[in-house]
Amino acid sequence: MKILVVDDELVSRKKMQVIMENFGECMAVESGPMGLDAFADAISKGKPYDLVTLDVAMPDMDGTEVLFFIRELEKEHGIRRKKGVKAIMVTALADKNTVITSIQAGCDAYVVKPFDKYTILEKMKQLQLLNA
């Protein structure tokens, strides 16, 4: 499995990276633009990510913006929504508007910080990325 972690907060980014490295090749970046660049590069090489985790609240470009552009890139490359990358939004913001905006952008799951390994594993199982 190929995984991209996008989070501007060092501790959360490293924690997620450590969890995800158990399941495949994991790249972690610290900003929305860096995440979008990494995703675009992978998709252009025909080796798209299977899972992306995105922090909602980041400077420059927030996670929902990144996800919107990811979904647009997938459309441009003929990748249908159900075949696209699974996206988990990770944030301290659990308010209704943030959740709705994330869903509209195309997220598949939502995790509230602070998170633990078991929460992430459960979301991955729900997304059928891991066997139950």
- 23-51 pLDDT, tens digit each: 999 999 999 999 999 999 999 999 999 99
CATH number for the domain whose boundaries are 2-124 = 3.40.50.2300
Distance, in Å, from the CA atom of 99 to the CA atom of 82, rounded to the nearest integer, reads: 20
Distance, in Å, from the CA atom of 95 to the CA atom of 109, rounded to the nearest integer, reads: 15
- 74-99 pLDDT, tens digit each: 999 999 878 899 999 998 877 888 88
Q: pTM to 2 decimals?
A: 0.94
Under 8 Å between Cβ of 54 and 63:
yes
Determine the pLDDT at residue 73: 95
Show the 3-state SS of 41-99.
HHHHCCCCCCEEEEECCCCCCCHHHHHHHHHHHHHHCCCCHHHCCEEEEEECCCCHHHH
Can you read off the two tokens belonging to residue 31?
């900003």
Per-domain boundaries in the chain: 2-124
